[in-house]
C-alpha cells in the first residue's frame, strides 16, 4: 500500500537510511529535523500514517487510548514493510541498512516491525513507545541496536510499559538501551541529543 512520504537524499553512502515515523496527528515532514540531528548525512524517508483518527494521521487504529486494534496493527505493519521494500527499489538506498526513528504512535509501529520481521530494520530509535503486542514470539534480533527514550512521568506510556518492551527486545537478542527522562510523553531536546550520541556510537 502506498504511503504519502518525502525522501531526502543524504550525503553519505555509508550512513543508514532513516525511516521517520511521526506521532498521532503528524505527517511525513514532522521528524525531518529530528533525523537531521540524529544522523546529518543519512538519507531521510519520512512517512505519513494511512489511518485517520478524528482527522489526525496515525499508523494503525486503536480501540481506545492505549488499547490497540491488534488485527489492524498487524496488517499495517505488513503494509509498511512492503512500502520500505518498494521505496528502497525506487530510490536506490541499501535495503539492509534502514534504521527507524519513531515517536509515540510512530515508535509503536517501528517496534511492531521489530516484533514481526527479523532483518527489516538494522536498528531503531523509539521515542516513548509502548509494547505493540504481547504473547508473541519475536524473531531473532541478535545484535540489533534499539534506543528507547522514556519519561518517568509519562501518563500515556507508564515506566512499566517501557521496562516490558526493553525486556522483550533484549530477550530476542536485541541490544536495547533505555534512556530515562524526568518528563512526560513529550519529545525532549535532551533525549534527542542522547539518541544522536547513541546513533553515532552504534552506526558511525
β strands within 25-134, DSSP E: 44-47, 51-53, 56-58, 62-64, 67-68, 98-103, 123-127
Please state, in angstroms and as integers, the Cα–Cα distance from residue 194 to each residue in 2, 112, 158, 169, following that order.
33, 23, 20, 20
Question: Which residue carries 553519505 as its cell?
Answer: 12
Residues marked active site are found at 104, 154, 185
Question: Nearest-CA neighbor of 84 among 17, 173, 133?
Answer: 17
CA–CA dist 190, 188 (Å, integer)? 5
Best CA proximity match to 109, nearest among 87, 92, 84: 84
Alpha-carbon distance values, 151 to 37, 47, 60, 122 (Å): 20, 25, 23, 25
**70-91 and 105-116 are packed helices; what angle lies between their axes, rounded to 10 degrees?**
80
Amino acid at each position: 500500500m502506498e504511503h504519502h512520504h518525502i525522501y531526502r537524499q543524504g550525503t553519505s553512502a555509508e550512513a543508514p537510511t532513516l525511516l521517520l515515523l511521526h506521532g498521532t496527528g503528524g505527517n511525513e515532514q514532522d521528524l525531518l529535523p529530528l533525523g537531521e540531528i540524529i544522523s546529518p548525512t543519512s538519507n531521510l524517508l519520512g512517512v505519513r500514517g494511512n489511518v485517520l483518527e478524528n482527522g489526525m494521521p496515525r499508523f494503525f487504529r486503536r480501540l481506545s487510548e492505549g488499547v490497540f486494534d491488534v488485527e489492524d496493527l498487524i496488517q499495517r505493519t505488513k503494509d509498511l514493510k512492503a512500502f520500505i521494500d518498494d521505496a528502497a527499489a525506487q530510490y536506490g538506498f541499501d535495503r539492509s541498512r534502514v534504521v527507524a526513528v519513531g515517536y509515540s504512535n510512530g515508535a509503536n509501529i517501528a517496534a511492531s516491525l521489530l516484533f514481526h520481521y527479523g532483518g527489516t530494520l538494522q536498528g531503531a530509535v523509539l521515542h516513548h513507545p509502548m509494547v505493540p503486542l504481547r504473547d508473541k514470539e519475536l524473531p531473532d534480533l541478535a545484535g540489533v541496536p534499539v534506543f528507547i527514550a522514556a519519561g518517568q512521568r509519562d501518563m500515556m506510556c507508564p515506566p512499566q510499559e517501557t521496562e516490558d518492551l526493553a525486556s522483550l527486545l533484549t530477550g530476542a537478542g536485541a541490544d536495547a538501551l533505555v534512556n530515562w527522562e524526568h518528563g512526560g510523553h513529550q519529545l525532549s531536546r535532551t533525549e534527542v541529543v542522547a539518541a544522536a550520541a547513541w546513533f553515532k556510537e552504534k552506526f558511525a
